[in-house]
Amino acid sequence: MSGFKISTSDKREIHFDLYLDAAPATCKAFLGILPFTRIFYHARISGEEIWIDDVPPLHIIQENASVFTEPGEVVFGPAAPARCKTANCFGIYYGTGKGLDACNIFARVRESDRILLRQLGEAIWKHGAQELTLSAT
């Protein structure tokens, strides 16, 4: 497996590729908790991001971690160090933003699905939370 997808309630699919070289422990652990379904919300502080804080927990190291992301990147907050404000939070940046604390950057939306991700992010921003299913591809 080299990625995952988001499935929306209206049957749209958005595909992501993993950063297997930059964040191997995070990628492996994340694939291990798929599939799951959660209600995603729009971020209030970090910018153009959809996120959840009730993701199945991952016990992962901090790797490829930063507060700075590129549009389309996917992040997961490691449980350590203990001071981490984003522990076990999962976020997807559909546009510009900056995280509250360092998260592991471990995937990116496929270029062909970038517009679909932006549409999803804007829909959640304008119309409220949405239930999304994540599964391996």
The CATH number covering residue 78 comes to: 2.40.100.20
Q: What is the pLDDT of residue 87?
A: 73
Whether the CA torsion 61, 68, 85, 74 is positive or negative: it is negative
pLDDT exceeds cutoff 70 at 81: no
Q: CA–CA separation, 5 vs 35, rounded Å?
A: 10
Domains held by the chain: number: 1
1: its two tokens: 């497996």
Tens of pLDDT, residue by residue over 26-70, are 999 999 999 999 999 999 777 899 999 888 888 888 899 998 999
**pLDDT-based confidence at 80, cuts 50/70/90?**
low
Q: CA–CA separation, 101 vs 114, rounded Å?
A: 25
Mean pLDDT across the chain, nearest whole number? 91
The closest of 54, 129, 41, 40 to 89, measured between CA atoms, is: 54
Q: Which domain holds residue 42?
A: 3-136
